[in-house]
Amino acid sequence: MFTKFLNIQTKSISFASLILAASYFCSALLGLFRDRLLAGRFGLGNELDVYYAAFTIPDFIALILVFGAISSAIIPIFSSYLVTSQDDAWRYASNLLNIFLVCLIVVSLIFIIFAPFFVSLIAPGFSPEKREMTVTLMRIMFLSPIILGISNIISGILQVFKRFLVTAMAPLMYNLGIIVGIIFFVPKFGLIGLAFGVVLGGVLHLLIQIPAFLYSGFVYKPLFDFKHAGVVKTLKLMVPRSLGLGAGQLNTIATTAIASTLAVGSIGALNLANNLSAMVVNAFAVSLSTAIFPAMALAYSKENKKEFERKFSSAFLQIIFFTVPISILIFILRAQIVRVVLGTGKFGWLDTRLTAACLGVFAVGLSAQGLIFILSKTFYAAHNTKIPAWISFGTVVFNVLMSLGFVWLLNAHGLFFNLVQFVLRLDGIDNIGVLGLPIAFSITGIAEALLLLYFLYIKFKVFRLSHMALSLYKIALAGALTAATAFLARQILVSYNLVNLQTFLGVFFQLSFSSVVGIVCYIGMALILKSPELEMIKNSFLPKFFNKHESRTH
């Protein structure tokens, strides 16, 4: 029964997107629980700085060697083989798995040996003791790219067979492994236990998918042919995408390096805030773009331009429709969110204020970060990986220069420092240089999304500007009223002392009440303005319900 459950196929893009969104939401909840455990046990201190710094290089390797191949090459190439010959498709899969496994092992061993050198690059501001501990954690964590690399290739192939449920459960297992590490391994092994938890998460991520992979028809073959036509094409398609992803990850490495030179806890605050904002991007943008990508690739292969345009426009506007109100609510309720999610144990009020400020700045660029996923996927579906790669490289340089500039301005304690301190309500906190990093990140994200959109329109003409403009106007109007309503609801509770903000329940009620009021306002305005995105959602996710209701009334 469990095997049948894992092998459920999703027949529609909307249902697949819904499953992925639900799984990302559940994974995000586990991620919030994970971050709460980390914040409560360590606070914003040396330990979290070491943990997040140790993550950067293993993540970088996994991204450039695997994730680029999956998104740009493996899914479309495996699909093309499957159309003509299932045996050829599985031979391609076996060959690819063998090649990637060997490459991942070799590369990981090299980085394990030279870990001290790379730690000195990514954390130049660390003390010798912090560097030594970072090296130890990084070496253990380098088992993770090997395991997750193979697991994510399997995920890509399973998505071709529309087995989105099991691929959606894999991230849950990954977070579960890290949580086990925090609860059980850290008390026994200390900070090293966190690295063991990361490795356990990777193992669980892989194991949950193996039954469905075998059930789909995979039979292992000991092939290792670099000259195989499918492998050659995979490498050609993945290199630009991998470079683009690598460029994006260089942002993380650069910001980590800069943050290591700032106050203790800066890396922790930056990562905790980014995790909270990334939850929204994963729940809506990643799930929708992942679900629609195979269909867009198929429409492009069939030269069905109208279908290709329709799917892109629908996904593009739905991402904006979902992320705009949530980014507004996150900015307005940033302190309440951080207090509820992370405010426990060693995570004090100063930690809360600094992390909340980072979260508020990340929220400004949240919609743009979501759009980057669907815009990039649209290029990949059209077999174009070069344009997103070049844009990624350009924005990396832009981001690093702006990060250095904004950090310098904030540390100079001039007009810009006063403005940021006033807007984000950081009176009394003088060391806020870390905020220069999310400011640069958000501006860069907006610039990258605009550039991708411009080149997509120039090259493929996949959307109608008038249609887009009308929808965006309605979303902006509804968003503005949502911001006013949520802010007013938050202030009423404070002004009339309706809740005790010194307790968890009081802050939680303030957060929940203001959020619900804001969301109700947004949906109500969308109904009044007759936003087409609401109709899309109704037709996509509720057709059966409405059809049944209509049949009963007739």
Examine residue 1 and state whether it is found in any structural domain, yes or no: no
**How would DSSP label each residue in 498-542?**
-S-TTSHHHHHHHHHHHHHHHHHHHHHHHHHTT-HHHHHHHHHHS
Same domain, 298 and 435: yes
In the chain, the number of structural domains is: 2
CB distance 518 to 328 below 8 Å: yes
Same domain, 174 and 255: yes
Same domain, 237 and 326: yes
List the domain range (segments joined by +) for residue 478: 464-542
Top mean pLDDT of 121-125, 226-230, 292-296 is at: 121-125
Same domain, 433 and 481: no
State pLDDT tens for residues 1-43: 555 555 555 555 556 666 766 777 787 788 889 999 999 999 9
Same domain, 357 and 491: no
CB distance 327 to 367 below 8 Å: yes
Same domain, 341 and 475: no
**Residues 539, 545: Cα–Cα separation, whole Å:** 10
Q: How many CB atoms lie within 10 A of CB 547?
A: 10
Same domain, 331 and 354: yes
What is each CA distance from 133 to 62, 130, 279, 319, 532, in whole angstroms? 22, 5, 29, 40, 53
Same domain, 473 and 415: no
Smallest CA-to-CA distance from 334 within 350, 365, 358, 370 is with: 358
Examine residue 2 and state whether it is found in any structural domain, yes or no: no
**Residues 388, 381: Cα–Cα separation, whole Å:** 12
Kindly state the tokens that stand for 13. Answer: 């893009």
Examine residue 442 and state whether it is found in any structural domain, yes or no: yes
Cα 221 vs. chain centroid, distance in angstroms? 34
Same domain, 435 and 294: yes
The residue among 462, 484, 508 that closes a domain is: 462
Mean pLDDT of the chain: 86
Q: Please tell me the predicted confidence (pLDDT) of residue 540.
A: 54
Smallest CA-to-CA distance from 277 within 181, 375, 368 is with: 368
Examine residue 3 and state whether it is found in any structural domain, yes or no: no
Confidence of residue 189 (pLDDT cuts 50, 70, 90): very high
Q: pTM of this prediction? A: 0.82
The residue among 462, 494, 510 that closes a domain is: 462
Residue 339 has pLDDT above 70, yes or no: yes
Residue 260 has pLDDT above 80, yes or no: yes
State pLDDT tens for residues 84-129: 899 999 999 999 999 999 999 999 999 999 999 999 999 999 999 9
Examine residue 552 and state whether it is found in any structural domain, yes or no: no
Same domain, 330 and 473: no
Same domain, 455 and 468: no
The residue among 423, 447, 462 that closes a domain is: 462
Same domain, 475 and 518: yes
